Structures are given as structure tokens and as C-alpha cells.
């Protein structure tokens, strides 16, 4: 006779939920990678059915009873953390009425469709009314979830992406960046103006050669092709499940420079998923901690490890081999100039690591103001452009290059943007700690050996899964909660001192 009957039942239920999520994940991957266009309707029906079944399993009356009973059962650390994660999932799922869920889903689909058109025509007016409806509903959602979770409304939305995320902490961290980044940016641009502009490696770069180079880089980083694949999509992503991780990329025959860094970024995500603890597969506590930690893993690989001189020397050799090319454009020093180019630009997804946080801070400000009712949707384009002038010193010539550029708000995601920059800070902090613990990491990377780095991440990040909160993982791994200092030090070192 078990002494944890309620928890046993919950674990069996969440095991099912996890299998259904995994099935949805694979079907979603197929939808983006392979599905013929005519399959869309049938796929939507499959995905919706899986989603409804998950919701029913999670909100069944028995779950609330079992969660209550399980609190009184003798659970060790990981199981107690598992119960906390179950409680969080249950709170999110039960916080909203069925009517509100349906209204949000409809408003989101409508708003996203209108946004595609509005962005293509650079005409915010086309989506304004739909977005106003959507923001009203998201305010309702935030209020209901805040009551269920005992947080502020903004934090209730943030919690869906970054469990336990704190508004006060973000405000403090972002205030520091807001103060520190502009002078750094000025100094970097001034220094860059004195440097020769980078040469562009001349193509074409055959797709087969890029594919081979991508696989070589992924394998070097530690991606296990027995438990994953690399395929092709318009918008690269990392999907699948921990034992079958699906990375996608896009090949451009005219250039390989940004594509290969995209592959490295997604491989960082993939290594995290793959490194989650095998003993807790299929349970909430065994999942990745949240979007901050996930983005820290992709950016640690992309920005910290693979834009380092040691890796760029390796990449320079491998790229020359792959494309049978030679010349000054392929020198490591030229690659360094390419990969550290900084610009005051309009588009977040194309921004460098120095200006990127300013793009995020703008969005964080504006989404909080909209959620609080301090900014009307009609005023968004002006507020956006004013913010861009203030933070980045440029004014978007139209809304397609301004407030229409990102899908996030238009498909209902408010509270997501901060995770990009929190992830960038966490990446710098973790990489610094890894180098302290394993000083041989840069030299190993130069030999194409990522095992010291990935071994450290496995132990200090991946293997902890959701047994601790983001801040606790960082504190245990680095000795400190999340701070901006390592990120700022990294920028100064790379862009001003090296």
C-alpha cells in the first residue's frame, strides 16, 4: 500500500498529459515542416481535439481533490516540486471561464489574421479595432489569473512563460540596462566607425554544403542525431520532445552567416531539452524551467560560446572546407567583425546583442501600459515611435518597421518579451560561472570540444529542470541571483576592450 496515493494518481494523470503534449508537439512540427497545405483543416481538428482533451484531463474535479490530498502526503524534494508545478498548471487551466477562453481564442485568431494584412500594407489602422478588443480580453484574462495565482495582473501573464517571474525584479534589471546601455552603444559605434567594415564572404553557398556544415557544427556542440533531426522551414525553431528534438533552419544560397548562427541558437535550445533529467520524463518537474532559462541556453551557445574568437577560428576553417573557399573574407578576424556588427536599427529580430535589450525594454514598457489601461491601442504607433527615438535614437519610417513588426501582441502573447533579455543576461552570468568552474572551456571550444561546457550546463542547468525556480538555479550555479553585471561586462569586454 503506497503512502502517497493522491500523488500517485496525479503523476499518472500528468504522464498522460505529457504524452498528449508530446503528440501535439510532433504534429505541430510536422505542420510547419512537411504538411501539404490541404492538410491544414484536418490538422487543426487533431490539434484542437488534443488541446480540449488536455484541458479536460487537467480540470477534472478529481484533480482539485487530489492536489489537496497530496499536500498532506510525504513527498521528497523533487516530488514536492512536481506537486507545485501541477498546482501551477491547474491554477492556469482553471482560472478562466470557458467563455473567456473561447473569446480569447476567437479574438486572437481574428487579430492575428488582420495583423498579417496590416503589416504587409504597413497600415496599423487595419488591425487597431481588433487589437483593442483583444487587449480588453487580455486584461480580463490577466485579472482572473492574478486572482488565481496571487500575483499582479502583468505577473499572471508573465507566469505563463516564466513561472514565478517578478515585475519588481524586471524593473530593477531593466532600469540598470537603460542607464548603462546608451553610453556603451555610443562608444561601440564610435569605435566601430574607426574600424574597416567587414568583407562579405562571396557565395553562392550550395544548400548541401550548408547542410553538412550545420550538421557538423550541431554534432560538435553535442546534438545527438539519434535523438533528433535537422530539417528546413521558413521560420527556424526547436520543437519535438526531449528524446526526439527537432531543430529547423533555413538555407539561403546567397549567404550562410546568419543561418549558421541560427542553427547554433536552436541547438542551444535542443541541448537543454535533451539534457532534462531522464528520471522525470513526462512529469511537470522534469520540464524546462521557463522561457528565461530556455533563452539563456540558446544565447549562451550563440552569443557567448560561438561568437568567441576560439569558435570563430574553428568556424572559419570549417566554412572554408565546406564551400571550398579562400581569401580575406574568411579570416577569423573578419568573421569576428561580421558577427559583432552593431547598428541602431528598426527590427528587433535582426538586432545585435548591444541594442537588442533596448528593443525589449520598449515593448515591456508599452505592454505594461496597455495592460494597465494607461496606453490606448490607438496611441500605440506614436508611443512606439517616441520610444524608439528615446531608446535607440531612430524613428521608424512606417508601422511595418515599427509597432507591427512582431507577432506577439497580435496573437495574444503579452508578458513574453522580457524573457529574451532576461535570457541574454542569464546566459552571460552562466557562461562567466562556467568559465570560473572550468577554465579550460575556451581552449576546449577552440579544439571543437564542447563537452566541458555542456557537461557543466547539464549539471547546473539542464539536469535541474523545474525542481528549482529560475533565480534558485542561477544562484546555485553562479552564486548570485540574476544580475545585469556579467552581461554588461561581457558587452564591454567584447565590443570595447578586445
Q: Site residues (CB under 8 A) for a second copy?
A: 15-16, 19-20, 22-23, 26-27, 30, 34-39, 41-43, 45-46, 48-50, 52-53, 224-229, 240-244, 281-282
State yes or no: is 471 an active-site residue: no
Identify the CA nearest to 96 among candidates 390, 412, 331: 412
Cβ burial of 339 (10 Å; 0-12, 13-18, 19+) is: buried
Please say which residue, 23 or 407, places its beta carbon nearer to a second copy.
23
Among positive and negative, which fits the CA dihedral 403, 407, 409, 413? negative
Place of cell 543561418: 259
CA distance 295 to 416: 12
Q: Give min distance, CB of 17 to a second copy, in A.
A: 9
Asked whether 323 and 55 are in contact (CB, 8 A), the reply is no
Residue 341 C-alpha cell reads as 556588427
Q: What would the 3-class secondary structure string for the chain be?
A: CCCCHHHHHHHHHHHHHHHHHHHHHHHHHHHHHCCCHHHHHHHHHHHHHHHHHHHHHHHCHHHHHHHHHHHCCCCCHHHHHHHHHHHHHHHHHHHCCHHHHHHHHHHHHHHHHHHHHHHHHCCCHHHHHHHHHHHHHHHHHHHHHHHHHCCCHHHHHHCCCCCCCCHHHHHHHHHHHHHHHHHHHHHHHHHHHHCCCCCCCCCCCCHHHHHHHHHHHHHHHCCCHHHEEEEECCCCCEEEECCEEEEEECCECCECHHHHHHHHHHHHHHHHHHHCCHHHCCCHHHCCCCHHHHHHHHHHHHHHHCCCHHHHHHHHHHHHHHHCCCCHHHCHHHHHHHHCCCCCCCCHHHCCCCCHHHHHHHHHHHHHHHHHCCCCHHHHHHHHHHHHHHHHCCCCCCHHHCCCCCCCHHHCCCCCCHHHHHHHHHHHHHHHHHHHHCCCHHHHHHCCCCHHHHHHHHHHCHHHCCCCCHHHHHHHHHCCCCCCHHHHHHHHHHHHHC
Peptide bond into 204 cis (omega under 30): yes
Catalytic residue among 162, 266, 302, 367: 266
CA distance 481 to 209: 43
Q: Give min distance, CB of 412 to a second copy, in A.
A: 23
> Active-site positions?
266
Amino acid at each position: 500500500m503506497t503512502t502517497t496515493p493522491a500523488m500517485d494518481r496525479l503523476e499518472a494523470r500528468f504522464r498522460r498529459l505529457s504524452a498528449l503534449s508530446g503528440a501535439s508537439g510532433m504534429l505541430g512540427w510536422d505542420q510547419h515542416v512537411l504538411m501539404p497545405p490541404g492538410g491544414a483543416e484536418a490538422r487543426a481538428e487533431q490539434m484542437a481535439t488534443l488541446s480540449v482533451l488536455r484541458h479536460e484531463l487537467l480540470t477534472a474535479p478529481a484533480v482539485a481533490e487530489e492536489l489537496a490530498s497530496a499536500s498532506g502526503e510525504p513527498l521528497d524534494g523533487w516530488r514536492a516540486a512536481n506537486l507545485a508545478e501541477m498546482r501551477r498548471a491547474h491554477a492556469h487551466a482553471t482560472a478562466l471561464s470557458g467563455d473567456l477562453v473561447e473569446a480569447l481564442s476567437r479574438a486572437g485568431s481574428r487579430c492575428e489574421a488582420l495583423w498579417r494584412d496590416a503589416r504587409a500594407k504597413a497600415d496599423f489602422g487595419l488591425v487597431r479595432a481588433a487589437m483593442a478588443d483583444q487587449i480588453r480580453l487580455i486584461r480580463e484574462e490577466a485579472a482572473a489569473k492574478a486572482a488565481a495565482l496571487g500575483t499582479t495582473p502583468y505577473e499572471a501573464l508573465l507566469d505563463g512563460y516564466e513561472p514565478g517571474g517578478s515585475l519588481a525584479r524586471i524593473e530593477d534589471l531593466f532600469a540598470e540596462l537603460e542607464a548603462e546601455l546608451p553610453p556603451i552603444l555610443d562608444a561601440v559605434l564610435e569605435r566601430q566607425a574607426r574600424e574597416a567594415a567587414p568583407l562579405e564572404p562571396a557565395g553562392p553557398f550550395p544548400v548541401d554544403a550548408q547542410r553538412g556544415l550545420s550538421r557538423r557544427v550541431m554534432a560538435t556542440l553535442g546534438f545527438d542525431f539519434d535523438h533528433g533531426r535537422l530539417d528546413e522551414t521558413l521560420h527556424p525553431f526547436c520543437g519535438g520532445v526531449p528524446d526526439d528534438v527537432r531543430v529547423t533552419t533555413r538555407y539561403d544560397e546567397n549567404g550562410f552567416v546568419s543561418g549558421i548562427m541560427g542553427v547554433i541558437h536552436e541547438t542551444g535550445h535542443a541541448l537543454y531539452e535533451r539534457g532534462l533529467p531522464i528520471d522525470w520524463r513526462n512529469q511537470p518537474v522534469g520540464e524546462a524551467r521557463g522561457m528565461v532559462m530556455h533563452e539563456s541556453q540558446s544565447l549562451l551557445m550563440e552569443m557567448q560560446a560561438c561568437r568567441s574568437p576560439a569558435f570563430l577560428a574553428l568556424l572559419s576553417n570549417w566554412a572554408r572546407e565546406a564551400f571550398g573557399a579562400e581569401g580575406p573574407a574568411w579570416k577569423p578576424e573578419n568573421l569576428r567583425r561580421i558577427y559583432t556588427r552593431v547598428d541602431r536599427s528598426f527590427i528587433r529580430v535582426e538586432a545585435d546583442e548591444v541594442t537588442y535589450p533596448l528593443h525589449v525594454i520598449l515593448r515591456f514598457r508599452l505592454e505594461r501600459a496597455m495592460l494597465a489601461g494607461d496606453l490606448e491601442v490607438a496611441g500605440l504607433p506614436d508611443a512606439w515611435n517616441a520610444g524608439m527615438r528615446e531608446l535607440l535614437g531612430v524613428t521608424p519610417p512606417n508601422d511595418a518597421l515599427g509597432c507591427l513588426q512582431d507577432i506577439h501582441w497580435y496573437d495574444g502573447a503579452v508578458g513574453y518579451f522580457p524573457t529574451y533579455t532576461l535570457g541574454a543576461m542569464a546566459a552571460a552570468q552562466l557562461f562567466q560561472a562556467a568559465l570560473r568552474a572550468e577554465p579550460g572551456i575556451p581552449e576546449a571550444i577552440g579544439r571543437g570540444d564542447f563537452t566541458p561546457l555542456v557537461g557543466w550546463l547539464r549539471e547546473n542547468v539542464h539536469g535541474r529542470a523545474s525542481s528549482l525556480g529560475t533565480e534558485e538555479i542561477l544562484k546555485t550555479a553562479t552564486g548570485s541571483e540574476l544580475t545585469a553585471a556579467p552581461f554588461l561586462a561581457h558587452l564591454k569586454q567584447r565590443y570595447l576592450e578586445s
